[in-house]
Amino acid sequence: MRVVVVGGGPAGLYLAILLRKTGHEVTVLERNAPDATFGWGVVFSAGTLGALRDADVPTHQAITDSFARWTAVDIRFGGKLIRAMGNDFTAIARTRLLAILQERARELGADLRFGVEVDELPEADLVVAADGANSRFRDPARFGARVRPQGGKYVWFGTDVPLDAFTFSFRETEFGLFQAHAYPFDEHLGTWIVECAEPVWRRAGLDSVTEEESIAFCERVFAEDLAGRSLLSNRSRWLDFPRVTCERWYDGNTVLIGDAAHTAHFSIGSGTKLAMEDAVALAAALERHTDLAAALAEYEGERQPVVERFQRAAGDSATYFLNTARYTGYEPLQFAVNLLTRSGRVSHANLAARDADLVRVADARFAGAAPGAVVPPPLFTPSTSARCGCPTAWWPRRGPPTRWTPRARARAWSSRPPRCARRAGSARTRRWSTTRGRSWPTRCAARAACSACG
């Protein structure tokens, strides 16, 4: 089959590699030069690597040989540094990733043409639109495409600051809160993404500054983190991150892959992984089916639900970063735990498995107990009713379990007390308990004596 791929990013190049391995004739049309790229380093999760190893061992080998690896997440907030251990991060320079993919695609006989701006869909048996988040060929009518800005502003810098952890830094300024997402991607350089809410960006006058002024501003905001080092620019402009969704991923002989079909906010570091996994699924479907329509339907059916799950987590994460200013009243440890569990992909239990010490200290602090005391997870920690100031309780009859095993959690959850009669009547409470499912008002333990609850 003759396949033309528009876009020589990770999705397009990786697809070219996999299709050449099964004997298809592949041409990749890329508007930029081979060594030109936007952005700096990209993070990969360990789960991605298995899929890449199975699809093409030499590419997997070359990518993993180039990886920077680390296990810590640093959170700098409120004058404190909190380090969470037990993670498994890897990252690679985007230029290095593209060079590896280009080399392998060429070695397998793909025809890579650079400096070609594609204006119209080319003629071929299969046309693959791998032309990124701003795809020219993602016709809304054909693909049911929607592009929604996520609300914040970000700029993607590099840095020569030596980093040994995924670093989040939150800095309050007179204009509002700025946050940095930073991580190393080789022995000398790291990624440094600065993000803020749009009103903050406008108040700081960043809508009308040059690239140099923007760098100088961000260097001032993060001066303490940068410790005299600089931020590096690579056509680094302030942008909105677009959330791209498509009801259909193919139409006739045109198929979308990677960011052209979907995006996931950069704060969960999964876009490249998803793009390359799309290529794996599409190549496998084309190998399994001789009928093109059947292959494309299988590709869409396999990938859409997976991508939707990531997009939900990415949406939660993006919303968190858009609203971080809400949480700046938290003390640093609580802020850190909230940040680490923001997207729902890392739960309290999962965080405890990664870094038991951190979670033990955080839970004890939340329960108002001494460090090292055995306390329930925050969800089951009795708190004080905001309405009447009385202590609230979850387990009026049996008392809290001594060990918080999954079974004990489930039992506590199912035996939660009935709602306080007064509060159950309020519209806000009803909305809470029905729409959020997992939230409900706690009963005042001193009900009999309390005039507000009783």
Q: Provide the binding-site residues for ligand FAD, judged by CB under 6 A.
A: 6-12, 29-32, 39, 42-43, 116-118, 130-132, 136, 154, 156, 193, 258-260, 266, 269-273, 275
* Nearest-approach distance from CB 220 to ligand FAD, in angstroms: 21
Closest CA to 125 of 31, 44, 5, 276: 5
* Nearest-approach distance from CB 423 to ligand FAD, in angstroms: 43
Which class for 382: exposed (0-12), middle (13-18), buried (19 or more C-beta within 10 A)? Answer: middle
Take residue 336 and report the two structure tokens written for it.
Answer: 């850190």
Q: Using CA atoms, how far apart are residues 322 and 184, in angstroms rounded to an integer?
A: 24
* Nearest-approach distance from CB 279 to ligand FAD, in angstroms: 9
Q: Is 51 left (phi over 0), alpha (psi -120 to 50) or beta?
A: alpha
Return the number of the residue (180 or 450) whose C-beta is nearest ligand FAD.
Answer: 180
Return the number of the residue (132 or 376) whose C-beta is nearest ligand FAD.
Answer: 132
Return the number of the residue (9 or 377) whose C-beta is nearest ligand FAD.
Answer: 9
* Nearest-approach distance from CB 131 to ligand FAD, in angstroms: 4
Report strand pairing: 126-129 vs 231-232.
Answer: unpaired
Q: Using CA atoms, how far apart are residues 438 and 347, in angstroms rounded to an integer?
A: 14
* Nearest-approach distance from CB 183 to ligand FAD, in angstroms: 8
Return the number of the residue (165 or 393) whose C-beta is nearest ligand FAD.
Answer: 165
Return the number of the residue (215 or 358) whose C-beta is nearest ligand FAD.
Answer: 215
Return the number of the residue (195 or 363) whose C-beta is nearest ligand FAD.
Answer: 195
Q: Using CA atoms, how far apart are residues 116 and 131, in angstroms rounded to an integer?
A: 12
Distance linking the first and last C-alpha atoms of the chain: 75
Helix (H) or strand (E) holding 75: strand 73-77
Per the DSSP assignment, residues forming a β-bridge with 92 are 42
Greatest C-alpha distance within the chain: 81
Q: Using CA atoms, how far apart are residues 76 and 82, in angstroms rounded to an integer?
A: 6
* Nearest-approach distance from CB 6 to ligand FAD, in angstroms: 5
* Nearest-approach distance from CB 262 to ligand FAD, in angstroms: 9
Q: Are the CB atoms for 326 and 355 separated by under 8 Å?
A: no
SS3 readout for 337-354: HHHHCCCCCCCHHHHHHH
Residues in the chain: 454
Return the number of the residue (239 or 408) whose C-beta is nearest ligand FAD.
Answer: 239
Return the number of the residue (193 or 388) whose C-beta is nearest ligand FAD.
Answer: 193
* Nearest-approach distance from CB 130 to ligand FAD, in angstroms: 5
Helix (H) or strand (E) holding 361: helix 356-366
